[in-house]
Amino acid sequence: MEKRVYLDNAAATAVRNEVIEEMLPFFDIEFGNPSTVYDMGSRVKASIDDQRAKVASLIGARPEEIIFTSGGTEANNLAIKGIAFAHRKKGDHIIIGATEHHSVLNSARFFERLDYEVTFLQVDEYGLVDPQRLKELIRPETILVSVAHASNEIGTIQPIAEIAEVCRDKNVFFHTDAVASVGNIPIDVKELGVDLLSLSGIPLRAPKGTGALYFRKGLRLMPLLHGGIQESGRRGGTENVPGIIGLGKAAELTLQELPQKIRHVKVLRDKLVKGIIDSVENIKLTGHPENRLPGHASLCIQAIEGEALVFMLSTQGIYVNTGSACASKALKTSPVLVAIGIP
């Protein structure tokens, strides 16, 4: 087999063998519909509830505060649209970070077309937002603030607890996209003080098409998918049972192994970055030099076209990416890099 060096785990990961093994019976043995009352369905329903508890434990939430989704993009859409639609009478102003994932940016732009007002919270050269500046931007009609916990492109970790405190003091809902964080650093929603938090199975090495939204107990959220009583009526449609089983198993393993993983990937990341910077001229590490995800490295090389470099490395069996995975074929300058002042 050809030797490969895969360095694009921020975009996609291999599913763990333990996760695959846990999922297999739910394809051809425990395949009952969890909404039915007979034993084949009730057993599956009990298994889903077990996975909900495992995902909740990973982020310090209650099981009833977890909605399973098809991934981070759906979770972000449900958080932003679910709050904005449910609380339109309260106001029509939304604030989002300037370096958000496209699923957040485009959800906000969707509301601009519905005559909501959207304010983009600017960041500094490291991609950090200023909680004091946020406080100045919040108005009586502001209903929601959304700032990612960490950037999937540049790795910077935001002061989420401080942002949440500002929103709480101003009586504004706060959502954080933690897709890049959950599975890479410890997360506790109660310590952070967030109202909603999105996560994906990909960083946990669960199957693609899996994710969840944490929503604080008592929060009113309008569903995007209307159907049956699945997910307590907040997301209609028969559940992706094998995917949920895989997500739960991956969450369980991640919770057990996270401290060791953080130490390991940080050593590898630091060694890789030092080797590249020492060997390549006109190169810069983007994002905060210290307050960043432990296994994340984002580098800019002057006068080198990103797509060409990605292709050249791939011919040598080295796999990296340029910009966000959701926009890497767009051949446009990353909005995140523009926001931090890199042309």
Better-predicted residue by pLDDT, 329 or 123 = 123
pLDDT of residue 208: 98
In sequence order, what are the residues at sequence separation of 6 or more whose Cβ sits closer than 8 angstroms to the Cβ of residue 223? Answer: 78, 82, 233, 234, 235, 236
Strand partners, 174: 145
250: enclosing H helix or E strand: helix 241-279
pLDDT of residue 322: 87
pLDDT of residue 334: 82
pLDDT of residue 183: 97
List, as one string, the DSSP characters of 7-62.
Answer: --TTT--PPPHHHHHHHTHHHHTS---TTSSSHHHHHHHHHHHHHHHHHHHHHT--
Structure confidence at residue 1 as a pLDDT band (50, 70, 90):
low
Structure confidence at residue 166 as a pLDDT band (50, 70, 90):
very high
Residues involved in catalysis: 326
Give the whole-number percent of the chain exceeding pLDDT 90: 87
Where do the domains of the chain lie, and which CATH numbers do they carry? 5-14+258-339 (3.90.1150.10), 20-253 (3.40.640.10)
User: What are the pLDDT digits (tens) for 281-306?
Assistant: 999 999 999 999 999 999 998 888 88
User: What are the pLDDT digits (tens) for 179-237?
Assistant: 999 999 999 999 999 999 999 999 999 999 999 999 999 999 999 999 988 998 899 99
- Residue 38 scores a pLDDT above 80: yes
What count of other Cβ atoms lies within 10 Å of the Cβ of residue 58? 26
Mean local confidence (pLDDT), 60-65? 98
- The whole-chain average pLDDT of the chain stands at 94
What count of other Cβ atoms lies within 10 Å of the Cβ of residue 282? 9
pLDDT of residue 343: 67
- Check: CB of residue 119 under 8 Å from CB of residue 95: yes
pLDDT of residue 316: 94
Counting DSSP H helices and E strands in the chain, the numbers are: 11, 11
**Closest by alpha carbon to 246, among 280, 287, 202, 289?**
202
Mean local confidence (pLDDT), 103-125? 96
SS3 content of the chain, % helix, strand, coil (to 5): 40, 15, 45
pLDDT of residue 332: 66
- Residue 26 scores a pLDDT above 80: yes
* Structure tokens that stand for 124 in this block: 């500094």
pLDDT of residue 330: 53
Mean local confidence (pLDDT), 85-104? 96
pLDDT of residue 94: 98
